[in-house]
Amino acid sequence: MLQPLMTVKVTRKNIEAEDIAVFELADPTGGDLPPFSAGSHIDVEVRAGLVRQYSLCNNPSERSRYVIGVLKDPRSRGGSAGMHEIGEGQDLRISEPRNHFQLEHSAQRTLLFAGGIGVTPILCMAERLSALGADFEMHYCARSRARCAFHDRIRASTFAEKVHFHFDDQGQAHALDIDAVLGEPCLGTHVYVCGPTGYIDLVLRSAAAKGYADRQVHREYFSADPEAMFAEGGAFQIKISSTGQVFDIPADATVTDVLRDAGVDLPTSCAQGVCGTCITRVLDGVPEHRDFYLTNEEREKNDQFTPCCSRSKTPMLVIDV
């Protein structure tokens, strides 16, 4: 189920870096757009039946526009390729901003890690932290300068001296030394990372090895690992607590698919366990977590799961629906 959609106009489109297009979206009547916070994303209806999520990367104090950056992925399932075909002057339907990747404003120090197009929410965070006069440091990794979006914008920003660029084609001397940047963990330090799965996993493993608590490390994936999503899993049952209805979930179907066919419509968006929209409370049973959204600490509680992709370790899950 989509969030309610509103219409915006593409007022500007430019190729920001190799295979990366940046879109400015505005209200067609010139009015203000709904406010957003650093780390927010919007759902974009690329075409009928095809919805993708894109992080907002402009200053969150702005109300006249939303800015999103879209990487044209050669493995695109239609979303990024479709977005790159959209031009200036076209109307798009989008959701209001939602935030599953929120800044901890009480942090004494913030470390920001961006990999490739993962810079979009991280850049928005840097804008916000700079406006607050907060203590932060940003590390931006890309394959090359040609693939580095927003390079000139960052260089001209008020926080330029806090940003460090790392390009793969410049050799080991310019590589990110993750252990040195993380340093010794302090309770007041929070870490944020967004980018390709391998990049995020590197930061997460390094932070864990350093002794950072799970609650200090925040991440946002853009897409799931297909092998993890579609790994074989056995059949199980779902019980709806409010009605007592029981549904069989076969090995080749998701919980959301089965429930939707039965008229039980759970809110979904990414359908990959990335965005957190469909998180549902579990009252009984043990989920088999396959999402990329919940933290390890949240998974261990086994009191919620993502029905769009996760399954069950027990014969039945009772869910709070």
pLDDT digits (tens, 9 = 90+) for 97-111: 999 899 999 999 999
Q: Report yes or no: 190 and 104 within 8 Å, Cβ to Cβ.
A: yes
Closest CA to 166 of 202, 232, 215, 115: 115
Question: pLDDT, tens digit, for every residue of 212-235?
Answer: 999 999 999 876 554 444 455 689
Residue 285's domain spans which residues? Answer: 227-319
Q: Are residues 214 and 128 in the same domain?
A: yes
Sign of CA dihedral 223, 141, 163, 134: positive
Residue 59 sits in the same domain as residue 155: no
Structural domain contains residue 104? no
Mean pLDDT of all residues in 34-47: 94
Residues 6+ apart with CB under 8 A from 219: 101, 192, 193, 194, 200, 203, 204
Same domain, 123 and 207: yes
101 assigned to some structural domain: no
**Residues 73 and 154 reside in one and the same domain:** no
**Structure letter (DSSP) for residue 169:** G
- DSSP for 232-291, please give it: ----EEEEETTT--EEEE-TTS-HHHHHHHTT-----SSSSSSS-TT-EEEEES-EE---
Q: What is the pTM of this model?
A: 0.79
Q: Which of 14-23, 151-160, 189-198, 274-283 has the lowest mean pLDDT?
A: 274-283
User: What whole-number distance in Å separates Cα of residue 61 and Cα of residue 187?
Assistant: 29
Asked if the structure places residue 253 within a domain, the reply is yes
Q: How confident is the model at residue 293 (pLDDT cuts 50, 70, 90)?
A: confident
Contact 102, 71 (CB under 8 A): no
Provide the number of structural domains found in the chain: 3
189's tokens: 């330090």
